[in-house]
Amino acid sequence: MWVLVAAIVGSAMAVIDSTAVNVALPVMQRDLSASAAGLQWVVEGYSLFLSALILVGGALGDRFGRRAVFALGIVLFTIASIACAIAPSLAFLIAARCIQGIGAALLMPGSLSLITTAFSGEARGRAIGTWSGFTAIMTAIGPVAGGWLTQAISWRAVFVINLPLGIIALAVTMLCIPESRDESAPPSVDLTGAALVTAGLAALVYGLIELQNAPADRWSLTIAILGFVLIVVFLYYERRVSQYPMLRADLFASRAFVGANLYTFLLYAGLGGSLYFVPFDLINVQGYTPVAAGASLLPFIVIMFAASRWSGGLSVRIGARIPLVVGALLAGAGFILFALPGIGGSYWMTFFPAIVALGCGGACFVAPLTTTAMNAVAAHESGIASGINNAVARTAGLIAIAALGLALASTFETRLEQGLSKLKLSSAAVAQIDGERGKLLSGAALNLRLPPSETQAVTEAIRTSYVAGFRVTMSVAAMLAVCAAIVAAVWDLRIRTT
C-alpha cells in the first residue's frame, strides 16, 4: 500500500510539472524578458537530462538500492523545484530545470521498479494499473492546474506545488518502504555511455536552437553536427565497447522491437515537437487566458485515458498493426486540423476538432505501441525494453522541439519581413523591432514601444507570421505521423515467442 502511495506521489511531481510548465511559458517570457530560443531551454534543459539519464536511473536503482535512488530523485527534484520558483533570471531557471531533469531520471524509473518489486502476480497487475490510472489523471490535471496557477497567482506557483508532494513522497519512502536491489545487476553503471549521449544530445539541441537566430552562423551548424557525431559514437560505444551498456544492442535483433522504436521516434517527434508551440499560439496569438489554454488540451488527455483500455484489448484480438496505422493517421489528421485556423474564431470550430482527432489517435496507438515494444523481446527483458522505448519517445520530443523551432523561425522571419516591408515604418520602429527579433518569435509584440499608429499593424504582422510558422510545424508533424503509419503498415511487427 505505502509503496503504491510513494510511487504515485513521486511520479506525480514529474508528470504534473512536465505538462503544467508548457502552459506557463508565455507568461514566463514576459516576466523574465526571455527570447523565444532561450525559453525553449526551460523545456529542453529538463528533457535533455531526463531523456539521456532515464536508463542510467533505472540501472542505479538496481545496483545501489531502489529506495535510495528513488529518494535521491525526489530530493533533487524538490530542491530544484524550489530553485525554479525563486529563479531571478532565465539562466538560473534553466539551470534549475536541468537539475529537475536529473531528479526525474532517478525517480521516474524508480517509481515503477518499486511497484514491480513489492507486488507479484495479479496484485502487481492491479498495482501497475492503479499507478498508470493516477499518472493519466495527473497528466490531465497538469495543463489546467498550470494555467490556473499562472493566471491566479504566478508561474512560480507551478513549481511550488512540488514542495508538499516531495515531502509526502520522501516521508513515505523513507519510513514505510524497505530497501531492495537486484543482486544480479551488473557490477558497474555505464557512466561513459551516459556522458556521451548527454553531450551529444546537448550539442545537437544547442546547435539547432542557435540556428533559429537570424542570421544563422556556421558555428551553430558545426555544434549541431558535432552533436550528431557524438550520438553516433555513443551508439558505437554501446554496441562494441561497453561491457555493461545502458542501451542493450542485442535487443534490436528483434525486428519488431526496431520497428516499434522507429514508430515511436517518428510519432513522438511530431507530438512532442508540435505541441510545445500550441500554448504560444493560443495565448500570444489567439488571446486565450492561461486557464483557457490549459483547459483546451483537456479533451486530448481525457479521450486517451478513456479509450486506451479499449484499444489495448482490440490490439490483443486483431494485432497491433491496424491500431498503430489508424492511430498515426488520426494523429496526422489532428496536426493538419491544427494548421487550418487563422486568427480568431470559436474554440469549438478551430482547435477542438484538432485536439479530438489527436486524442483519438493517441487512444489507438499508446497501448498497442507499449505492448509491442515490451512483447518484442523475451519476457524477462520486458522491463529494459519498456525503458528504452520510453527513452526513445522522450529523445524524439527533445530533438523535435529544436528542429521544428528552426522550421517555425525560418517561416516566421520570411513572413515578418514581407509584412513589415508593406508598413513603411519609421527608422526608429525598425531599429526597435530588429533589437527584439529573438522575443518576437513567440508570437507576441513584447517590449515594443511604438506610436499607436504603428503598434497595431506591427502586432498583426507578428501574429500573422507566427501562424504561418505554426502551420509549417504542424505540417511537418503530420508528415512524421504519416511516416510512422507507413512503418507500422510495412514493418514486421510480429512478436518474439522466446
Number of Cα atoms under 13 Å in the Cβ half of residue 396: 24
- Structural domain boundaries enclosing 496: 248-498
- Whole-angstrom Cα distance, residue 474 to residue 18? 21
Q: Which parts of the chain have pLDDT scores under 70?
A: 125, 129, 214-216, 308-309, 311-312, 316, 379-380, 493-498
In this structure, which long-range contacts are made by residues 173-179, counting pairs with CB atoms below 8 Å and at least 24 apart in sequence? Answer: 173/6, 173/10, 173/67, 173/70, 173/71, 173/74, 174/67, 174/71, 176/2, 176/3, 176/6, 177/2, 177/3, 177/6, 177/67, 177/114, 177/118, 178/67, 179/65, 179/66, 179/67, 179/68
- Asked whether the CA dihedral 405, 261, 196, 232 is positive or negative, the reply is negative
DSSP-based three-state secondary structure for 498: coil
Report d(CA 111, CA 177) in Å as an integer. 12
CA–CA separation, 241 vs 273, rounded Å? 33
Based on the fold, state whether residues 172 and 227 are members of the same structural domain: no
Contact 404, 273 (CB under 8 A): yes
Residues 101 and 217 in one domain: no
Boundary-marking domain end, from 151, 181, 211: 181
Answer yes or no: do 498 and 356 share one domain.
Answer: yes
Pair (159, 210) in one structural domain: no
Q: Which three cell numbers stand for residue 352?
A: 477542438
Tell me the DSSP string of 41-88: HHHHHHHHHHHHHHHHHHHHHHHH-HHHHHHHHHHHHHHHHHHHHT-S
Please tell me the number of Cα atoms within 13 Å of 330 on its side-chain side. Answer: 22
Note every long-range contact of 443-449, with CB atoms under 8 Å and residues 24 or more positions apart, other chains counting.
443/280, 443/281, 443/284, 443/285, 443/467, 443/470, 444/26, 444/29, 444/30, 444/280, 444/284, 446/29, 446/30, 446/33, 447/33
Residues 132 and 153 in one domain: yes
254 shares a domain with 212: no
pLDDT at residue number 438: 84
Residues 143 and 38 in one domain: yes
- What residues contact 324, with CB distance under 8 A and at least 6 apart? 263, 364, 365, 368, 369, 372, 484, 485, 488, 493
CATH number at residue 340: 1.20.1250.20
What DSSP string runs through 85-132?
A: HT-SSHHHHHHHHHHHHHHHHHHHHHHHHHHHHH--HHHHHHHHHHHH
Domain count, the chain: 3
- The rounded distance, in Å, linking the Cα atoms of 3 and 178 is 9
| Same domain flag for 125 and 195 | no
**What's the confidence (pLDDT) of residue 302?**
84
DSSP string covering 409-442, please?
HHHHHHHHHHHHHTT---HHHHHHHHHTHHHHTT
Q: How far is CA 328 from the centre of its chain?
A: 18
Asked if residue 311 and residue 394 are part of one domain, the reply reads yes
pLDDT of residue 122: 73
- Distance, in Å, from the CA atom of 145 to the CA atom of 155, rounded to the nearest integer, reads 11
Q: Are residues 116 and 217 in the same domain?
A: no
Q: 204 and 272: one domain?
A: no
> 320 and 217 in one domain?
no
Q: Which of 245, 264, 283 is the last residue of a domain?
A: 245
Give 320's DSSP letter: S
Domain boundary among 150, 181, 212: 181
